[in-house]
Chains A and B, each alone.
Chain A
Amino acid sequence: MKKLVKNSYFQFLLLALALLLIVPLASLGIIPSSIVVNIATVIIYGIAALGLNILLGFSGLISLGTAGFMGLGAYLSAYFTYQMNLPFEVSLILSILIPTLIGILIGFVSLKIEGLYLAIATLAVAEVFREIFIQFDFFTGGSSGAKAAYPKLFFGLLDLSKQPIVARSVTYCLIVFVLLVILFLSFNLLKGYIGRSFNAMRGSEHAAQAMGINILRYRIIAFAIATAFAALAGVLYVHIIRISYPTTWNMNLSLDMLAIIVIGGFRSLYGTFVGSFVVYGMSEIFLKKIDGISEYAYIIKGVLIILVILFYPGGIMQLFRDIRQKIRQLFKKDKEVIHEPVR
């Protein structure tokens, strides 16, 4: 039993089941139904931030273009499903594939442009996308936004357009399912050869090269993963919010993604989602209920970012780990301290 609880895959499954529990709770009226969409956005931004965490935390490459790729995924999926009437599944694959190809291109370029220059170059890429979202109005609807519907799953067999509330719950379940797949994938990826290569690359590129790691290949893989996750998040976003404005995908969103992984903790799967909850969920779900605090949400976020960076560089997950170790020390005073591997 204890072995099962420790198993990471089992933990992911439990998490997904717990998240699914929100749907019946909301439909029974125990918790407000707006929470479903709030949690969904937390998951969506968490997925995009996880891509950035793999890029920045594991392989040490910085990108400020996350918002641009999210927006690209969102607009592509809206266009494919709403204007071209493609099935959701086809549109999902296409709208992830196209941004990923552009991400691979940036991966090629990242060998030449480095550090700060790369950060601002990716920012410029995102700005190019944003200008396209505003100007290309036959494709994006310009400033009035692009519309999309709740996805019709199984190639249109599951058509719930008559029952919007059920459709919303189904979309939410889809998002949780995607989250589960993403967690499995990233866990395996990062524990395996690719993850170890990323770690080596972040430590020292020359040493990694000396160990026979092809830097170009792994940079491209890192950028491909980051853009694919961002685009996937964008697709999910547009299908649950059902509209996409160019103003959503601005620089502040990319910076928020950075804030998420800083607050949650670098190189932490769970931490990314905890960070996403702190940045996007907390103010929406808790602070808005308390009068006089909700206006301070921005300030609280800013203070939290600075405090974490200054005093707790490991993020909230490091705090959890430290607390757990303290408790363990209390019970096993005579035994040596167990150092947990960074997850």
Chain B
Amino acid sequence: MGIFIEIIFRSLEYGSIYALAALSIILVYRTSNITNFAQGVLAMFNTYVVATAVNKYGIPIYGAVVIGIVSAIVVGILIDIIIIRNAKKVSPVGKQIITLGIMAIILGAAPFIFGYYDLSLPKFFPNGSLTIIGAQLSYNAIFNISLGVVIMLALFYVIQRTKWGLAIRTTASNEVTARLMGVPTKTVTMLSWAIAGALSVLAGTMTAPFSNVSLTFMNDVQIIALLACVLGGFQTFHGPVLGAYIISISLNLITFYMRVPDGTVWGKPLIYLLILLFLVVRPNGLIGKKLVKKV
């Protein structure tokens, strides 16, 4: 029983990371109609900022995260102003490929700015743990889980209840009409790139203690975040979050309960295949609605 609860808590911790990354993808997708394949690389870049602040300048992790968020917002706004605004007339596929270009630029630039070595990043709470119903739960895990939940609740509150949220939702539903109605869609898109950057740097800072900060350390997170978007459906903001937690829980359960004696790990391929099968049954995801195509 203790092990089961421990797995659930670990899944919730990973789930927060995946959910933050998925939210940052869906936010950009809904407002500027771009699948942001550069999300993982952007998270990597800004997490490097955090790690450099901690390792080189000795800034405590809390301060460094704030620096990282500021840098993520600046980078997000720059990308929007320099590239995305000029890509209004580009085809949907072309827009996705632009994010691949951004990805290549950041991958090329990061070693110049931060050096060629992997950096390590401490946890928010280095030690200490609680025992709940026989399950060990570190303070850091509790912090990560609650940080994820708090941020997501705050974001959903903003999206559903405030005027800016209304602007985001109208831009998401139809950009041209929103602009005609006086919604400052340019600012909304810029804001969503900034928020997406901030969300992904948080996801990166939460992931970093499990591995090192390297050029590729966010790749797996990004792939799972994209799958979470597919599983939850691209039409809503809460679908991908739900998808992220479902993937995380089932991934950890399958990896633990179906482990093979010789040490091979079949969790990930199995989950991917299950999601593919699910997609065949429900092509628009869990909460997705079918878009009516007009001839």
A interface list, Cβ under 8 A from B = 56, 62, 109, 112-114, 116-117, 119-121, 123-125, 127-128, 131-132, 135-136, 204, 206-207, 250-251, 255, 258-259, 262, 295-306, 309-310, 313
Contact = CB atoms under 8 A, between A and B. Distances in A.
Given A117-B230, A299-B108, A135 B276 contact: no
Nearest to A137: B264
Report the 3 A-B pairs with minimum CB-CB distance, sorted nearest first. A298-B108, A302-B104, A305-B101
Given A113-B280, A116-B35, A206-B295, A128 B104 contact: no
B95 to A, nearest CB: 8
Nearest to A300: B108
B102 interface: yes
B94 interface: yes
B279 A262 contact: no
22 contacts: A114-B283, A116-B234, A117-B285, A119-B35, A120-B227, A124-B230, A127-B269, A127-B272, A135-B269, A259-B97, A259-B104, A296-B108, A297-B108, A298-B108, A299-B104, A301-B108, A304-B101, A305-B100, A305-B101, A306-B98, A309-B98, A313-B94
A235 to B, nearest CB: 23
Contact of B97 (A132, A136, A258): A258
Given A62-B93, A306-B102, A117 B109 contact: no
B108 A120 contact: no
A136 B263 CA distance: 11
Contact of A113 (B35, B86, B234, B283): B283
A310 B83 CA distance: 8
A168 to B, nearest CB: 30
The SS class assigned to the A binding surface is helix
Interface residues of B, number: 46
B93 A250 contact: no
Interface string B215-248: 0000100010011011000100000000000000
Contacts of B269: 127-128, 131-132, 135
Interface in B68-124: 83, 86-87, 90-91, 93-94, 96-98, 100-109, 111-112
Interface of B: 35, 37, 83, 86-87, 90-91, 93-94, 96-98, 100-109, 111-112, 219, 223, 226-227, 229-230, 234, 264-266, 268-269, 272-273, 275-276, 279-280, 283-285, 295
B102 A121 contact: no
A310 B86 contact: yes
B87 to A, nearest CB: 6
Most B CB atoms within 10 A — which of A119, A125, A298?
A298
A255 B103 contact: yes
B234 A309 contact: no
Nearest to A307: B101
Given A116-B35, A309-B101, 11 more contacts: A113-B283, A120-B230, A131-B268, A131-B269, A259-B101, A298-B108, A301-B108, A302-B101, A302-B107, A306-B101, A309-B94
A306 B83 contact: yes
Contacts of B109: 299
A72 to B, nearest CB: 13
Given A305-B100, A309-B94, A298 B107 contact: yes
A49 to B, nearest CB: 13
B100 A255 contact: yes
Given A204-B295, A306-B83, A310-B90, A124 B276 contact: yes
Nearest to B277: A109
Contacts of B226: 120, 123
B104 A120 contact: no
A257 to B, nearest CB: 10
A121 B104 contact: no
B162 to A, nearest CB: 28
B200 to A, nearest CB: 17
A302 B105 contact: yes
A251 B94 contact: no
Given A117-B284, A251-B223, A303-B101, A309 B90 contact: yes
A296 B275 CA distance: 38
Given A120-B227, A206-B295, A309-B90, A113 B279 contact: yes
A301 B104 contact: yes
Contacts of B105: 298-299, 302-303, 306
Nearest to B86: A310
B223 to A, nearest CB: 6
Given A113-B283, A132-B269, A302-B105, A124 B275 contact: yes
A124 B272 contact: yes
A112 B280 contact: yes
Contacts of B107: 298, 302
A293 to B, nearest CB: 12
Contacts of A207: 295
Contacts of B264: 135-136
Contacts of A262: 94, 97
Contact of A309 (B87, B273, B285): B87
Contacts of B272: 124-125, 127-128, 131
B265 A135 contact: yes
B102 A123 contact: no
Contacts of B276: 109, 121, 124-125
B273 A128 contact: yes
B7 to A, nearest CB: 20
A251 B280 contact: no
Contact of A305 (B104, B234, B275): B104
A259 to B, nearest CB: 6
A141 B133 CA distance: 43
A33 B35 CA distance: 42
Contacts of B108: 295-302
B273 A121 contact: no
Contacts of A251: 219, 223
